[in-house]
Amino acid sequence: MSYQAAADRYDTMEYRRCGRSGLRLPVVSFGLWHNFGDTGNYENMKEMLFTAFDHGITHFDLANNYGPEPGSAESNFGRILKEELGSWRDEMIISTKAGYLMWDGPYGDWGSRKYLMASLDQSLRRMGLDYVDIFYHHRMDPETPLEETMNALNDIVKSGKALYAGISNYDGAHMKEAAAILKELHCPFVINQNRYSILDRSIEANGLKEAAREEEKGIITFSPLAQGLLTDRYLNGIPEDSRIRTDGRFLKEERITEKAVAGLRKLNSLAAERGQSLAQMALNWILKDDIVTSVLVGASRPSQLLDNIRIVNRAPFSAQELQTIDQIVKELQ
């Protein structure tokens, strides 16, 4: 039997505006960075997307290089759209990005007009779409003039291939420069995508969070669980099936020190007092103020998504809880 969306899918999810725009995103969005490439299980991919949509997650975030192989996440997502989810396309926010290495030669990386426009055309073909809702420049380019990159985003939106422009991995100063250019071009730039977690507060240090507030733009965060560190996975050592063992590109074994584990156990205890898992508390912490529009979560099975969705409409943090979290993090540094 083909998929039918749940009738009550919008009953419990919270939606926030991207800064001062008409676009609203669910506070929990689904990132397809892992588990949607050629090495993933196709039936599991479908069940995760169905579970997400049935519970009000309307935003699905991709990039040109998501895989493995690069491009395969978009291809698999596009196949599921065509076979099962296409009837609900207008209820979805689909985003993709370009900015990291995608193909050989001088035109498959960074931020040139040539690369961004060619990459989006490839992404649209892989997903079987006429347009994406948000198209991001994925990282700052130290050599291409910012005006060129922003003009390319503007022309992409004006062409109808994207509805909104976004930037990712920009610091506060460069975000404000980009915002000024796009404002002059009357381009609907609405959102920044950056890493943010209890343990990684770089967007506070580099001014991005405050710049987003001043410019009235949204923020969507990735790696909210610090590559799994802010879960119960490492409270008693390193499991053999953990990402550290199977894919050590991001979370390194040397981070799992006795000091780190002790701090994580303190955070876990605080989460338990709130009636939450450590992961749920970590996601709620990111959403504690309205500057952050949405938090991107990944998943390897539908049950993980359901656990993440339980953060919606949870009690706010008390001042004492926030102070305790900050003190634990300070001790870890």
Closest CA to 53 of 121, 5, 124, 4: 5
Enter the pTM of the model: 0.95
The predicted structure's pLDDT at residue 333: 81
Q: What is the pLDDT of residues 287-332, one digit of tens each?
A: 999 999 999 999 999 999 999 999 998 899 999 999 999 999 998 8
Report the alpha-carbon distance of residue 319 to residue 275 in Å, rounded. Answer: 17
Backbone angles phi, psi at 67, to 5 degrees: -170, -135
**Greatest Cα pair distance in the chain:** 54
pLDDT classification of 243: cutoffs 50, 70, 90: low
Report the alpha-carbon distance of residue 326 to residue 174 in Å, rounded. Answer: 28
Six token digits for residue 3: 């998929």
The predicted structure's pLDDT at residue 261: 86
The predicted structure's pLDDT at residue 253: 63
CB 179 within 8 A of CB 189: yes
Cis peptide before 47, with omega less than 30 degrees from 0? no
Look at the block and give the residue holding tokens 């669980």: 225
Q: What is the pLDDT of residues 134-184, one digit of tens each?
A: 999 999 999 999 999 999 999 999 999 999 999 999 999 999 999 999 999
The predicted structure's pLDDT at residue 246: 55
pLDDT classification of 259: cutoffs 50, 70, 90: confident
CATH 3.20.20.100 fits 15-226+293-317, yes or no: yes
What 68-72 contacts at long range (C-beta under 8 Å, 24+ apart), as own/partner pairs, is 68/37, 68/38, 68/39, 69/37, 69/38, 70/102, 71/102, 71/122, 71/123, 71/126, 72/36, 72/37, 72/38
